[in-house]
Structure 1
Amino acid sequence: MDRRLFLRSAFVGVGVATLSGVVLEAASAVPAQPGASPYGSLLAADANGVALPTGFTSRIVARSGQTVPGTSYVWHAAPDGGACYPNGSGWMYVSNSEVSGSGGASVLRFDSAGTVTSAQRLLSGTSSNCAGGATPWGSWLSCEETSTGRVWETYPATGAAAVARPAMGRFTHEAAACDPVRQVIYLTEDRTDGCFYRFRPTTWGNLATGTLEVLCASASATSGTATWQTVPDPDGSPTSTRTQVSAAKHFNGGEGVYYANDTVWWTTKGDNRVWKLNCATNAFELAYDDSLVSGTAPLTGVDNITGSSYGDLYVAEDGGNLEICVITPAAVVAPILRLTGHNSSEITGPAFSPDGSRLYFSSQRGTTGSSSGGITFEVRGPFRT
């Protein structure tokens, strides 16, 4: 079978379990290096302030503090991590709100033509909901980025009441990614001395109980074989989860995390790295490190990460020059879009529609530099699928 046909059939077969696609290979053993984008050079910014390659277009689907067109719902401030889900003949895009003391999450629902049909609040009364992750059973895990932060399970399709999942640990949560093969959920921690965790539910699909584990390896190693040890007290009080296991490996500012096909990738913003773990063997290595590139690093301020069914990774910048960069299976890194006029913002929540033709993301503070100025975009074009 042709490689692309195989990837496409695999993507259709797993459905919501992967959401953004099935990555069968990406970021080879040598950390990615700058090169030509598979989509060509960026053109001048369009009317929405988005610089894109030929054949791509952008539109704004929501603005913080304003009613979402076609609905009566006012979009939340400081949009952050996000994910897409199938929804009948259409799809949904979920987005967190990274506001201290009053964060939460919301959902946009689209019909088959891409028209917004409804929008709804999924979670309220939480704090600094930064990123999170989608589950194979269709819920969204919204993560609080506070020292005692929790993971909240929300339900985009129905809008049912969100449920806190304290067994997943109380720490400075950033993002989550589900591994249905090993039936675990990987978790990042946004601290300069943060850890990389996995949660093993007692019953897959039920996050009420389970075991929290932390990745252990040599402190300075950038490759090797990791082990996992149980975190004795996931509540993190009085001793933080990251300091309970002496062998735990610490990472400088854990951000996005993405899983596909026995591999999990996660980013660390403090050192501009993308890490890669073979989940079957526990071998880890660097997929990208801006200090190891030849010439000027195209990707800095690494943050949220997602992937496509083709095998490409897409990494958003918090800083740098406000780009989303692609890391190809051939380990080439290059920008695929850039925001102009958003100098005090960051790009958040990249996620592909189920068919891979639309990329959603937000500028958390827009052109105003304020959390009330967030803008959520959709980009359409010939993405590799």
Structure 2
Amino acid sequence: MPLGSLLARPPPPAGGGTVTAPLGATVERRSFLRATAVGGTAAALGGTLWRGAAHAAPAQPGTGPYGPLGAADAQGIALPAGFTSRVVARSGRTVTGTSYTWHNAPDGGACYADGPGWIYVSNSEINPSGGASALKFSATGAITGAYRILSGTRQNCAGGKTPWNTWLSCEEVDRGYVFETDPWGAKAAVRRDAMGRFKHEAAAADPVRGVIYLTEDVSDGCFYRFRPGTWGDLSSGTLEVLIGGSGTSGPVSWARVPDPSGATATRNQVSGAKRFNGGEGCHYADGTCWFTTKGDNRVWQYDASAQTIELAYDDSLVTGGSAPLTGVDNVTGSSSGDLFVAEDGGTMEICVITPDDVVAPFLRVSGQSASEITGPAFSPDGTRLYFSSQRGTSGSSSGGITYEVKGPFRT
């Protein structure tokens, strides 16, 4: 079945096991022009898209749109008024209502509409035997299934959702690969060699320009884009690297990476490739790709139309007090234009950066200082936020906890 058919076909039954049907197809760009408000989620969410003038300067601390955090709840999560949390899965334990054991070290994730319900996909950042799993929810939020969608891979960290409803799971190892997977678990995952071999972190699809943006998690890493020969088919195409000076703003360009196989490190193949200190999360919406770098606690924004970059946040540029956001990592967005940035370390918070350039804590996980927050993703209707504490209270990969937060998110 073509990849594009995933958009229209009835969802297959959940299940684990080995599947053999390959992924591959073409889809038309026009189907996705408004499908990116929440990490590529379908446009049924509604709400305003990201404003072109938003995030025009590095964000500064202020009062967030949801107000102050309350006391930690029974799960140890401090939330604003009106929000509640629950645990939906724990590493090494059977997912409630299923026979499936949740994976260790849960990391990057995304949500997919599944009829009246939805699916949350989560990577496993262990090496070897990383891969990815999925949780299936009914329209009421009840868990109805859990299953494996990728096996036999290494240290699957972040990744990204495609507009044709597949999950790109990225290996964060030297000369790592990108694997295209089926969130329904009905089709075999496919290794996408043309997307390059390097220490992959996250991916974000730009359906207007027909490219996939990619981050690289090394201290002198680069920012890439993959231009498939046919949009919707990632089996072949051109890998490009961002070219620019040493500044934090201004015009940039792209150049082809001669050898995506990484026999020579991809980041060292093109003269003038711009360096980024530890690329992490990546999120595209309405003409802008946002990506984070953990080595310098920055959130960058790439204006795809103007081909310019600038800073949306830099903890060293915060004035009038301490920075509320440190250890920047995974990032996602809501239909209101808010960015939600998870911390690796810091104070174990997910912080919100508004289109008005205000940064403030949205939630805080207590008692888990040896962990990191991973995989933030919104349900298709925008009312639930999923994320994981990768190592939970134990500080080990077997202690991961995956959460759901429900409440009045802005639309």
TM-score, normalised to structure 2's length? Answer: 0.89
Give the counterpart letter for 1:176 in structure 2. Answer: A
Residue 225 (structure 1) aligns with: 251
1:382 paired with 2:403, answer no
Shift of 1:13: 5.6
Give the counterpart letter for 2:299 in structure 1. Answer: V
1:2-151 map, 5 Å: 14=35, 18-19=40-41, 23-25=49-51, 27-151=54-178
Is the Cα contact below 8 Å between 1:17 and 1:180 reproduced in 2?
no
Aligned partner (choices 230, 248, 267) of residue 242 of structure 1: 267
Structure 1 unmatched runs, 5+: 1-9
Identity %: 68
Shift of 1:288: 0.3
- 1:325-364 per-residue CA deviation (whole Å, 9 max, x = no partner) reads 0000100000000000101000000000011000000000
Is the Cα contact below 8 Å between 2:55 and 2:354 reproduced in 1?
no
3-state SS of the aligned residue for 1:14? coil
Is the Cα contact below 8 Å between 1:51 and 1:338 reproduced in 2?
yes
1:152 paired with 2:179, answer yes
Shift of 1:28: 2.2
- How many residue pairs match? The answer is 374
Shift of 1:12: 11
- 1:99-131 per-residue CA deviation (whole Å, 9 max, x = no partner) reads 011100001010100011111100011000000
1:273 paired with 2:298, answer yes
Give me the whole-angstrom Cα distance separating, in 2, the residues matched to 1:326 and 1:267: 14
Residue 347 (structure 1) aligns with: 373
221 and 17 in structure 1: CA distance in 2 versus 1, 3 angstrom threshold: closer
27-36 or 68-77, larger mean C-alpha shift: 27-36
Give me the whole-angstrom Cα distance separating, in 2, the residues matched to 1:275 and 1:43: 30
Give the counterpart letter for 1:58 in structure 2. Answer: S
Shift of 1:23: 4.0
Shift of 1:160: 1.4
Give the counterpart letter for 1:174 in structure 2. Answer: E
Give the counterpart letter for 1:253 in structure 2. Answer: G
Give me the whole-angstrom Cα distance separating, in 2, the residues matched to 1:257 and 1:18: 12
Give me the whole-angstrom Cα distance separating, in 2, the residues matched to 1:156 and 1:267: 25
RMSD: 1.6
3-state SS of the aligned residue for 2:267? helix
3-state SS of the aligned residue for 1:362? strand
Give me the whole-angstrom Cα distance separating, in 2, the residues matched to 1:275 and 1:14: 22
Give the counterpart letter for 2:244 in structure 1. Answer: A
3-state SS of the aligned residue for 1:211? strand
259 and 12 in structure 1: CA distance in 2 versus 1, 3 angstrom threshold: closer
Give me the whole-angstrom Cα distance separating, in 2, the residues matched to 1:58 and 1:150: 34
Residue 393 (structure 2) aligns with: 367
Give me the whole-angstrom Cα distance separating, in 2, the residues matched to 1:80 and 1:280: 31
Shift of 1:29: 1.7
1:255 paired with 2:280, answer yes
Give the counterpart letter for 2:84 in structure 1. Answer: T
3-state SS of the aligned residue for 1:350? strand
Give the counterpart letter for 1:79 in structure 2. Answer: P
Residue 305 (structure 1) aligns with: 331
365 and 23 in structure 1: CA distance in 2 versus 1, 3 angstrom threshold: farther
TM-score, normalised to structure 1's length? Answer: 0.95
Give the counterpart letter for 2:155 in structure 1. Answer: S
- 1:188-240 per-residue CA deviation (whole Å, 9 max, x = no partner) reads 0000000000000000000000000000000x210000100000000000x10
3-state SS of the aligned residue for 1:242? helix
Shift of 1:246: 1.1
Structure 2 unmatched runs, 5+: 1-30
